[in-house]
């Protein structure tokens, strides 16, 4: 595996009230990987992301982030209601102190990428839930993140909108080649999006399964109905259900499940995801990498190269 862009090594988290949210989590994300994390509610998925972003500290273990360009997208798009879409999308670049022309250019480019150009002058209240999430995504894209942390970004959306945004996010992933750590409750979403799916146990969260997803990108929405997809999703689900049984009643039996697909953390080390055709959809995407600069997203502490927490 190439040097991971994000690595948790034996990470545990105990809150001040004694709650142990994570216990000895080992998890690596290589450049170009899209890793989803599924697990029961309260197993520490958000805590994991908060530690990766520097908003919270591990009690034990180390977290290494090898980029100064992380991006965050959460379930709540947190747009400022008095600002237009354009002004909202400019916000992170503005807080980073980028010159007006530059942030306008980046925002316009990101807004076009997520298909919101016709709504750039609208206020958030005029947008649907899916459009608000696109605006939130665009706001992070202005900083050209090399590592994206997603906390249930589409969890509040209806199924059709969610599937559409899954495809749009995958197009962005192929165009921008960021690494992603994506928390979701949906096994289908996890398998559809990812190069790897990590299954966590109930609290305190531990990594109990690591499944390589062998399907090429770009992925067609039809993939969700293919037998190999259903088979893998079934194995992930079984592991998840086994996890719940274990935490609920201590039933054991996990070790015998789904071993054939467990990748053991050695999946798809590629610097870029496997792609079997042209990278689809987003016309101007490929040329936008240059939006780079060396900005760090606002609202989060600056992250140095190879930060060890």
Residues lying near ligand ADP in the complex (CB under 6 A): 15, 17, 19, 21, 39, 41-47, 203
Paired strand residues for 180? 34, 148
- When the beta carbons of 156 and 223 are compared against ligand ADP, the nearer one is 156
- When the beta carbons of 151 and 168 are compared against ligand ADP, the nearer one is 151
- When the beta carbons of 43 and 149 are compared against ligand ADP, the nearer one is 43
Q: How far is the CB of 59 from ligand ADP (least distance, A)?
A: 12
CA 274, 146, 26, 236 torsion-angle sign: negative
| E strand segments, the chain | 6-14, 20-29, 34-38, 60-65, 70-74, 147-151, 179-183, 196-200, 207-212, 307-308
- When the beta carbons of 22 and 107 are compared against ligand ADP, the nearer one is 22
Q: Which of 273, 263, 215, 289 is nearest to 28 (CA)?
A: 263
Q: How far is the CB of 22 from ligand ADP (least distance, A)?
A: 8
Q: How far is the CB of 49 from ligand ADP (least distance, A)?
A: 8
- When the beta carbons of 122 and 245 are compared against ligand ADP, the nearer one is 245
Contact of 21 with 270, CB cutoff 8 Å: no
Vertex 243, ends 242 and 245: CA angle to 5°? 65
Q: How far is the CB of 154 from ligand ADP (least distance, A)?
A: 15
Q: Which of 175, 179, 171, 257 is nearest to 211 (CA)?
A: 257
Q: How far is the CB of 164 from ligand ADP (least distance, A)?
A: 25
């Amino acid at each position: 595996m190439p040097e991971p862009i994000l690595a948790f090594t034996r990470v545990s988290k105990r809150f001040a009230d004694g709650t142990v949210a994570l216990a000895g989590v080992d998890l690596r994300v290589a450049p170009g990987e899209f890793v989803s994390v599924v697990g029961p509610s309260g197993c520490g998925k958000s805590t994991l992301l908060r530690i990766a972003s520097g908003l919270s500290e591990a009690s034990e273990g180390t977290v290494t982030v090898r980029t100064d360009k992380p991006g965050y997208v959460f379930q709540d798009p947190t747009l400022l209601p008095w600002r237009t879409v354009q002004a909202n999308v400019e916000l992170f670049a503005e807080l980073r102190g980028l010159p007006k022309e530059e942030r306008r250019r980046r925002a316009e480019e990101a807004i076009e990428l997520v298909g919101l150009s016709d709504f750039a002058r609208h206020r958030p209240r005029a947008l649907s839930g899916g459009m608000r999430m696109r605006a939130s995504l665009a706001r992070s894209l202005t900083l050209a993140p090399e590592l994206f942390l997603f906390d249930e970004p589409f969890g509040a959306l209806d199924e059709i909108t969610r599937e559409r945004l899954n495809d749009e996010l995958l197009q962005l992933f192929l165009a921008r080649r960021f690494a992603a750590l994506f928390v979701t409750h949906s096994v289908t979403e996890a398998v559809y999006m990812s190069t790897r799916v990590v299954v966590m146990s109930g609290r305190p969260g531990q990594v109990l399964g690591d499944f390589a997803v062998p399907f090429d990108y770009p992925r067609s929405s039809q993939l969700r109905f293919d037998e190999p997809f259903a088979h893998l999703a079934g194995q992930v689900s079984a592991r998840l259900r086994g996890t719940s049984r274990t935490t609920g009643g201590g039933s054991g039996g996990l070790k015998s499940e789904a071993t054939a697909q467990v990748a053991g953390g050695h999946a798809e080390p590629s610097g870029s995801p496997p792609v079997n055709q042209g990278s689809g959809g987003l016309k101007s995407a490929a040329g936008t990498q240059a939006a780079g600069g060396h900005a760090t997203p606002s609202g989060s502490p600056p992250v140095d190269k190879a930060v060890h927490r």
